[in-house]
Structure 1
């Protein structure tokens, strides 16, 4: 029997759902993928206190498991970061066939790092983590996922981005009308930031990402600030600072805080990655091709 190709995937959240959707499209596994997504959404609601369940967490974990079915999904427990540190049920593994090749989707807290340490040949994670960890900073901005591989120093890692999954939200430039009016710029875009000097509110985990996206020439005149505990929403902290960069979908919450929604600076997207050192063999290549959305258009040439 052919050994399965092991693929590292996130344990929860939007990136995992994007991976399940992609795998289901090639593995005829729509029902099980939908079941996993629904189970994890329910467990997230329980962990957040939005749902209640009379069963204990171990009872629910046992109910989700089917040890007699090797194709059934497996789950595991993690400590959630919320107050009280509740145990949260998250994804562990799922076996599927992708275009005739057996594949094991293996949950990892940090799939990108699992690829960097050569545990896997293939994996999915947020492009944001690649920018935060290995993308080099240059004077010019980084504007697309297609340019990410060119910014990776081969000495740092053997991992390269293959393609995106299209579950895109954007790191977007936001500003108050007062901050916009103080700068002689036509639009709320990169030219505005080049002319602006002052605080820019961002999530602390995205400082290096924002530097890469804006370019070091632009960030020289900026001072990064971070949301404090006195704001329930980051848009409120950006409104206090005057200017900020934040992940947005529609921008409606930003507008509710009196912010103008400017340029979409960079896409935040789940990406398929490959550790080129571990990617020997036709099975890995076949899975890589199958999981790429449209090899003719969206695959990123390896560096």
Structure 2
């Protein structure tokens, strides 16, 4: 009898879409992934008010989730953080038979299970496998050292076995970067806005409060000896706050908003990327087989995972 391997995944947003793309590619279920993605994008538009709902949220939820077959996706309700805290429909679960995929018995399957914080669900041993942002790993468990951390491949070496059994297996490539940026007045003349500049810099550095530990890990504690963190006021645009401080770190895709605020983009410090995670103490042979298929088929494509 094949085993069903539960995998913790985000409930919504870009990270979930990235996971679904990976699952669709590796397990051959593109229509299922497209169905979940389109449903959630539609519901996001309704929550934002971009579309007008013909039925209330409870009727829509019932229509989506009244299914007898576990291979059909189910959804649940979550309080959104927008004004008024509306209820938003998000992903709950779906079971995907492995079929012809070389990942164990023919009747084996995986079950994607939505979690608000997949990484923490792995830390508490609820799951052997999961997907979450690499940022959360840096925010919670990597050791702070004098030297900087620049690559996802180096994250596992910074995780103490005393803190957690969870390790990064591989990144999924949906990369945006925590980027150093400065006003022209703060930026060095005829030199790059990079880690070397920051070593000599003394003054304010504007960041999101939740990223303080991440920034300390990425830049290294030595480079921050003369730096004072500043945080954007609630409701204020991050780039505007960085422009006022003169120097800051924020996530960028194209950098267009930063430039609109007169900021010059500097070094891309660290990738913010969805990653496949595993709790080594929960990995069985069946879990290892599924992990390898999801991570592109061979252990050679994964990061060095030590237990």
Pick the TM interval, shorter chain: over 0.9
Give distance in 2, aligned partners of 1:39 and 1:230: 29
Residue of structure 1 equivalent to 2:84: 84
* Contact 1:163 1:293 survives alignment (8 Å): no
**Do structure 1's residue 125 and structure 2's residue 132 form an aligned pair?**
yes
**Do structure 1's residue 171 and structure 2's residue 178 form an aligned pair?**
yes
Q: Secondary structure at the match of 1:178?
A: coil
Greater Cα offset, 64-73 or 195-204:
64-73
Give the one of 198, 203, 206 matched to 1:193: 198
Instruction: Map residues 54-65 of structure 1 onto 2, 5 A cutoff.
Output: 54-65=54-65
Instruction: Map residues 135-150 of structure 1 onto 2, 5 A cutoff.
Output: 135-150=142-157
Give TM-score scaled by structure 2 length: 0.94
* Contact 2:122 2:278 survives alignment (8 Å): yes
1:143-167 deviations in whole A, cap 9, x for unaligned?
A: 1000000000000000000000011
Across the aligned residues of Structure 1 and Structure 2, the Cα RMSD in angstroms comes to 1.4
Give distance in 1, aligned partners of 2:224 and 2:112: 39
Greater Cα offset, 199-208 or 99-108:
99-108
1:185 deviation in Å?
A: 6.8
Q: Secondary structure at the match of 1:14?
A: helix
The 3 A distance-change label for structure 1 pair 242 and 209 is same
Residue of structure 1 equivalent to 2:250: 246
* Contact 1:172 1:248 survives alignment (8 Å): yes
The 3 A distance-change label for structure 1 pair 158 and 87 is same
Residue of structure 2 equivalent to 1:44: 44
Residue of structure 1 equivalent to 2:224: 219
* Contact 1:164 1:293 survives alignment (8 Å): no
1:70 deviation in Å?
A: 2.3
Give distance in 2, aligned partners of 1:206 and 1:148: 16
Give distance in 2, aligned partners of 1:243 and 1:48: 32
* Contact 2:26 2:296 survives alignment (8 Å): no
Give distance in 2, aligned partners of 1:176 and 1:111: 37
Structure 1 alignment gaps of length 5 or more: none
Q: Alignment length, in residue pairs?
A: 299
1:49 deviation in Å?
A: 2.0
Greater Cα offset, 107-116 or 97-106:
97-106
Give the one of 241, 255, 259 matched to 1:255: 259
Greater Cα offset, 152-161 or 48-57:
48-57
Give distance in 2, aligned partners of 1:239 and 1:297: 43
Structure 2 alignment gaps of length 5 or more: none
1:229 deviation in Å?
A: 3.2
